[in-house]
Amino acid sequence: MKNTSDLLIEIGTEELPPKALSKLSSAFSQGIIEGLKKAGLVASESISYASPRRLAIHLKDVPIAQANQTQERRGPALKAAYDAEGNPTRAAQGFARGCGVDIADLEQRETPKGTWLYFVKQIAGKQTKQLLADIVQQSLDQLPIPKRMRWGSNHVEFVRPVHWLLMLSDNEVIKGSVLDLSAGNTSRGHRFHHPDEVTINHPSEYANTLKTQAKVIADFAERRAIIKQQVQEKAAAIDAQAVISDELLDEVTGLVEWPVAVIGNFDIQFLDVPQEALISAMQGHQKYFPIVDNDGKLMAHFITIANIESKEPSKISEGNERVIRPRFSDAEFFWNQDRSKTLASRRDASKKIVFQHKLGSVFDKTERVANLATVMADKIGADSTHAARAAELSKCDLMTEMVYEFTSLQGVMGRYYAQNDGEADAVANALDEQYMPRYSGDQLPKGKIGQILAIADKVDTLVGIFAIGQKPTGTKDPFALRRAALGVLRIIIECKLDFDLAELLHASANTYAESDIDCEASYQSTLSYIMERLRAYYQEQGISIDSIDAVASLRPTHPLDFEQRIKAVASFRQLAEAESLAAANKRIANILKKVKGDIPTQVNPSYFKEDQEVALHQELSEYAAQAEVLFSDSDYAVALTLLAGLRDTVDNFFDNVMVMDKDETLRNNRLALLNQLRTLFLKVADVSVLQFG
């Protein structure tokens, strides 16, 4: 007799939110898998499906029933269960009553601690089909849906109205109700091509039946791949390339069940408008894939994904061309209108826009950023005049019609308008680069002025928000301070900029000097918050936590220096001598912790009694002289490799020398020697925290 079966669950709905479809599918499937697992029912494999009108999962080889279970409860000890005459005590009677049985039904069991009364009950496992409806309902209840809705006279709630429920165990319908719908074995096809019901005979036939009979590609990943391929083929047919962002591709996949790529055209006159504006309109408003030539220049074509296989695709093209024209006309109007005024002339308008009510207006922010940018430019030998000018103009494009309509173009349009106004290229480019990196993994500013402006803008926000006590808590981060902090670190490290973060924060705090904001009080927490982001930054690069801790324990405030130390530690731990030296440093640290009062620092060679301490002192002096030169050049990796040569001498010292000698003079001299050794390593990192094995 077969003891497993394949399960299929499908929830049929009105069109689901396309941007959330993938997340909903994952949560729906995971909820069911976890629910079955808690019930002791584990599938050998699961396949998730998601389209605009359905969430489904196929689970293979699920046990048809739970395993039988034995329930045991221990009662009172035998000596407390019966009195001297052998009659049950109240303790025994109460235990039996609580178990719902007679005392005679209880077992007596010998244990290492004596004889005890036990209640033992065999519980038959439930059939999977008896449990499934509740498991599905629980999964739906836990979906990440911000707002649920009711429809008609229903009291149930879901993200969209639900129209059908399919639940199969092999070829058998599982009786049950979810969201007030009774389960069946029918799904529904494409809304236009096959609106009728379609029967699913077995879970293994689900995807193919929908595809061949009902014009529905239920597999999200398959549908996504088809769309990408079709778009690329359409573009290649005109010797061009399609601009395909993962975000748009996911959204379009969530909009269609039977994708058909169609190419459309628009008037060439619109190419006079900055292509970023046209691309934004196509991607954001119309969900089109823009087309560019081999040089990345926008062409007067686009690709749309229809949810229908039309006999006249030209009609679909014409319809989409009519829709995009007003969007492009608006962009063209904004472009021409905005250029009638310079960016600089819009600056006064920023005084009316509040950045944060305690921190003043956007204008106030740009004044602070300009002051900070000037200091930073002087620090690295960049053009301070350009840095200040870029900061002053940095938010002026927020007052333009184009950015008001297409908010994602902030900075981008600033660059175009600055070029139109005749501003220096370094200034114009910085207006765009100030927002970089815009997201995880995004490119960094290439120009020095752009790098300065991007850092200064983010640091000003971090310092100000922390000063007014609104640092991020939990998942709440309305000013995107986590992203800002990581952006500051990435730019400094990856662009190799010689900035000390502590100095930057103090310089930024000085720009608030004429306000009532006390930035100094929150200085340390701001610094710690930014530097803490380095943990995630280096973990993503595969750097171990203990290596990060080895450097972070020294509390360096220079991100580029932190980077050089991290690389040095990563290189050091690959050496054969690393483990022994890390252990020695840990031993030294533990010894020095136990020293009462000040730790001795002066070594007197005349107090040496053992050859090993003489050897260690001699080598330490030689190595220290060489290492100091390397430290001054921040050549930490070479320095640690050099110090690795001390291993044998250090091991011999600990094998033959009693550090904590009864003679105070000898003891203090040896402690001073070890302190010098540890101090030398601490000029790079605290290698004592490194873990091996």
343-399 residue pLDDT tens: 999 999 999 999 999 999 999 999 999 999 999 999 999 999 999 999 999 999 999
Judge contact between 196 and 189, C-beta under 8 A.
yes
Q: Which two tokens stand for residue 441?
A: 């993994």
Judge contact between 591 and 660, C-beta under 8 A.
yes
The rounded distance, in Å, linking the Cα atoms of 457 and 372 is 9
Query: pLDDT class for 241, splitting at 50, 70, 90?
Result: very high
Q: Which two tokens stand for residue 460?
A: 């000003």
pLDDT at 67: 87
Q: Give the H/E segment covering residue 122.
A: strand 114-123
- Helix 523-539 to helix 501-510 angle (10° resolution) is 140
The rounded distance, in Å, linking the Cα atoms of 587 and 569 is 19
Name residue 73's amino acid. Answer: R
Mean pLDDT over the full length of the chain? 94
The rounded distance, in Å, linking the Cα atoms of 563 and 540 is 14
Return the bridge partners of 167, or none.
9
Name residue 637's amino acid. Answer: A
Name residue 325's amino acid. Answer: R
pLDDT at 499: 97
Looking at beta carbons, which pairs linking 421-425 to residues 24 or more positions away fall under 8 Å?
421/342, 421/343, 421/344, 423/343, 423/389, 423/393, 424/386, 424/389
CATH of domain 346-542: 1.10.3210
With 90 as the cut, is the pLDDT of residue 85 above it? no
Q: At which residue do the structure tokens 């006159």 appear?
A: 269
Name residue 247's amino acid. Answer: E
The rounded distance, in Å, linking the Cα atoms of 332 and 327 is 9
Note whether 346-542 and 576-689 share their fold: no
pLDDT at 168: 97
pLDDT at 520: 82
Judge contact between 408 and 280, C-beta under 8 A.
yes
DSSP tally for the chain: helices H, then strands E: 25, 18
With 90 as the cut, is the pLDDT of residue 84 above it? no
Query: pLDDT class for 1, splitting at 50, 70, 90?
Result: low
Higher pLDDT, 441 or 453: 453
Q: Would strands 54-63 and 197-199 be described as parallel, antiparallel, or unpaired? A: unpaired
Q: Which two tokens stand for residue 411?
A: 């900075």
* Cβ-based neighbours of 479, under 8 Å, separated by 6 or more: 356, 461, 465, 470
CA dihedral 225, 231, 232, 236 (to 10 degrees): 160
HEC readout, 326-371: HHHHHHHHHHHHHCCCCCHHHHHHHHHCEEECCCEEHHHHHHHHHH
Percent of the chain with pLDDT over 90: 82
Query: Rounded to the nearest 5°, which phi and psi values hold at 137?
Result: -60, -40
Half-sphere exposure of 172 (CA within 13 A, CB side): 9
Distances (CA, A) of 693 to 264, 333, 570, 651: 61, 66, 15, 19
- Helix 647-656 to helix 578-593 angle (10° resolution) is 50
pTM confidence score: 0.82
The rounded distance, in Å, linking the Cα atoms of 556 and 565 is 10
Q: Is 407 exposed, middle or buried (0-12, 13-18, 19+ CB in 10 A)?
A: exposed
With 80 as the cut, is the pLDDT of residue 474 above it? no
pLDDT at 296: 95
Name residue 610's amino acid. Answer: E
With 90 as the cut, is the pLDDT of residue 154 above it? no
Domain residue limits, the chain: 4-66+127-214, 69-123, 220-338, 346-542, 576-689
Alpha-helical (H) ranges within 468-542 are: 481-494, 501-510, 523-539
pLDDT at 693: 72
Query: Rounded to the nearest 5°, which phi and psi values hold at 608?
Result: -70, 140
Query: pLDDT class for 264, splitting at 50, 70, 90?
Result: very high
The rounded distance, in Å, linking the Cα atoms of 87 and 82 is 5
Half-sphere exposure of 448 (CA within 13 A, CB side): 18
pLDDT, mean of residues 337-341: 96
Return the bridge partners of 262, or none.
304
With 90 as the cut, is the pLDDT of residue 146 above it? no
Return the bridge partners of 298, or none.
292
Taking CA 161 as the corner, what is the angle to CA 156 and CA 162, rounded to the nearest 5 degrees?
Answer: 80
pLDDT tens by residue, 7-47:
999 999 999 999 999 999 999 999 999 999 999 999 999 99
Task: Give, in words, the CATH class of 576-689.
Answer: mainly alpha
CA dihedral 683, 685, 689, 693 (to 10 degrees): -120
With 90 as the cut, is the pLDDT of residue 245 above it? yes
pLDDT tens by residue, 455-468:
999 999 999 999 99
The rounded distance, in Å, linking the Cα atoms of 666 and 664 is 6
The rounded distance, in Å, linking the Cα atoms of 445 and 456 is 13
pLDDT at 121: 87
The rounded distance, in Å, linking the Cα atoms of 45 and 27 is 16
Nearest to 82 by CA among 68, 70, 69, 96: 96
The rounded distance, in Å, linking the Cα atoms of 632 and 639 is 10
With 90 as the cut, is the pLDDT of residue 597 above it? no
HEC readout, 262-285: EEEECCHHHHHCCHHHHHHHHHHH
Q: At which residue do the structure tokens 């000029």 appear?
A: 683
With 70 as the cut, is the pLDDT of residue 480 above it? yes
Query: Rounded to the nearest 5°, which phi and psi values hold at 151?
Result: -140, 150
Return the bridge partners of 186, or none.
199
pLDDT, mean of residues 632-656: 92
Q: Give the H/E segment covering residue 249.
A: helix 246-253
